[in-house]
Amino acid sequence: MRRLLLGVLAVVLGASPVWAGAPGDQQGRPGGRQGRPGGFRGGPGGPMMPGMTGRGGDRETDLFDVARRTVTVPEDKLAALENLALEYAVAENDAVAEVRRRLNKEYLVKVVALLPDEEKPKYEKVIAAMTERDDAIAAAEKELREALDKVKVAQGADKVAAPADPNQRFFRARPGEVPTRKYDALRSCFVLTDDQTKQVDVIHDANRDAVREKMRAQFANLRPADGGRPDPARMRQMGALYRQARDQADDEDAKAITNLLTDAQKKDFATVCTAMDAYRKKIADAEEACRAKVVAVVGIEKASALLGLGGNAAAGPAPAEKGTEF
């Protein structure tokens, strides 16, 4: 247990994308949902190294990477090329998710056939709860993507090639995934001036450091004074604390950044923040409902082993987050 705590601290206070300023990821949610939308947890495909898309990582031809590296793409076509690459990635993600859903249904029958009769209902109930959660998350992600795409077009960001992010770290979100932080949505859906970009980064770094210090103290409190093992019940709160800290830092970013935007940008950024707050609530509700159902079937210990050390259904949901107010 002590090794687990130290490992979590190393991730949270070290190279985590939440603190590093890398694009929003989906691993921050309790349980680390690494599968693509619509699949069960634990599916293949976590973050990859820069340049290693699903095609590149499999040594298959990447149409867009070849274009970037071998020919001179006209300046007025760079944005269109990136839009096509994004469109391709989204289509690829959707196709893989559809294949996974089909295979899940096909192989679910085969797995059930191997189980003792008394164990089959338990397994089927857990799978049903997780499938319901995944479907709800996929629907929430689709709604958020549609909202952000409209803002991107309204702001003209679809006509401009995205600038390089100086805060990009070694790992990044999977290509085609929808931004899940307001800070990332701002960078991808708006055309900021150089001055705005510099001020936004200053705000982001300050809020990240402030919340990092707060989280360092909270995680330190999980360790008993006598150096013994942390209380498992308190350990199960780490996932919820992590998510709350991530969203708190992002909300603080959004509130301060609003003052740097033009009136036209403020209106659309308010739309982004409203959509993001709604998305977070739907994700939290889906996760909590799933956890409660799984706990009811297999108990808290097995549920935590399966779903991760996120919110504890027995302890109730985490406090509601305020989101961004305008």
User: Tens digits of per-residue pLDDT, 94-146?
Assistant: 899 999 999 999 999 999 999 999 999 999 999 999 999 999 999 999 999 99
DSSP structure string for 87-117: HHHHHHHHHHHHHHHHHHHHHHHHHHHHS-T
**Mean pLDDT, residues 244-253 taken together:** 87
pLDDT top residue among 238 and 264:
264
pTM beyond cutoff 0.85: no
| pLDDT bucket at 319, cuts 50 / 70 / 90 | very low
Decide if 46 contacts 34 (C-beta within 8 A): yes
Decide if 287 contacts 135 (C-beta within 8 A): no
pLDDT of residue 239: 64
| pLDDT bucket at 58, cuts 50 / 70 / 90 | low
pLDDT of residue 88: 92
**pLDDT exceeds 60 at position 26:** no
**pLDDT exceeds 50 at position 317:** no
| pLDDT bucket at 43, cuts 50 / 70 / 90 | very low
pLDDT of residue 20: 38
Span 204-223, pLDDT tens digits = 888 888 877 877 777 777 66
For tokens 């209380």, the residue is 231
Other Cβ atoms closer than 10 A to 172: 19
* Whole-angstrom distance, CA of residue 83 vs CA of residue 196: 24
Instruction: Indicate the average pLDDT of the chain.
Output: 77
pLDDT of residue 216: 77
> How many residues in total does the chain contain?
326
* Whole-angstrom distance, CA of residue 146 vs CA of residue 81: 20
pLDDT of residue 166: 56
User: Residue 262's closest CA among 193, 205, 198, 180?
Assistant: 193
**pLDDT exceeds 80 at position 235:** no
**Mean pLDDT, residues 57-71 taken together:** 83
Phi, psi of 4 (to 5 degrees): -65, -45
pLDDT of residue 281: 95
pLDDT of residue 46: 39
**Mean pLDDT, residues 21-42 taken together:** 37
**pLDDT exceeds 80 at position 31:** no
183: three-class secondary structure by DSSP: helix
Phi, psi of 191 (to 5 degrees): -105, 105
pLDDT top residue among 236 and 9:
236
172: three-class secondary structure by DSSP: strand
| pLDDT bucket at 14, cuts 50 / 70 / 90 | very low
pLDDT top residue among 287 and 24:
287
pLDDT top residue among 239 and 91:
91
**Mean pLDDT, residues 228-254 taken together:** 75
Q: Percentage of the chain surpassing pLDDT 70?
A: 66
